[in-house]
Amino acid sequence: MTSARDIMTGGAECIGAEESVLLAAQKMTELGVGALPICGTDNRLKGMLTDRDIVVKVLGQGKDPANTKAGELAQGEAVTIGADDGADEIMRTMTSHKVRRLPVIDGHDLVGVVAQADVARSLPDPSVGQLLEALSSD
């Protein structure tokens, strides 16, 4: 069975909840990614910050990214997947929560991220097509 651990991108770097959105944007640029997990001072996952969040919720609202903390953009409880959860659970979680990226947790530790692109590369075409359709519809 294919697990999240098998298809995830490992070594995910967090942005601290108390760090600025500007620093997050710089980190995204450096790493070549469109999202970063937000971690609290307790090193626990607080949410995900996307490049779209920065544009819409910070720049689009006239906020200063240097003075806006990443943690201010974490909403509710973070949607995650267990490292040993299978492909069906990944698909179910992405579809039901309408998310394109899932932080992968082993116990309480962030070990990677499964992105829509990881799913597309690793799972059969019909499954990928269903996921894309579910994430694209409103």
Mean pLDDT of the region 21-42: 92
CA–CA dist 70, 37 (Å, integer):
10
pLDDT value for 54: 96
pLDDT value for 107: 85
How many Cα atoms occupy the beta-carbon half-sphere of 88 within 13 Å?
1
pLDDT value for 20: 97
Q: Which domains does the chain have, with CATH numbers?
A: 4-136 (3.10.580.10)
Q: pLDDT category, 42, cuts 50, 70, 90?
A: confident
Specify the pairing of strand 109-115 against strand 101-106.
antiparallel
- Residue whose C-alpha is closest to residue 81's, from 55, 100, 54: 100
CA–CA dist 81, 79 (Å, integer):
7
For the cut 90, the answer to whether the pLDDT of residue 28 exceeds it is yes
| pLDDT > 70: percent of the chain | 88
Give per-residue pLDDT as tens, 44-95.
888 999 999 999 999 999 999 999 999 999 876 789 999 999 988 988 998 8
Mean pLDDT of the region 88-103: 89
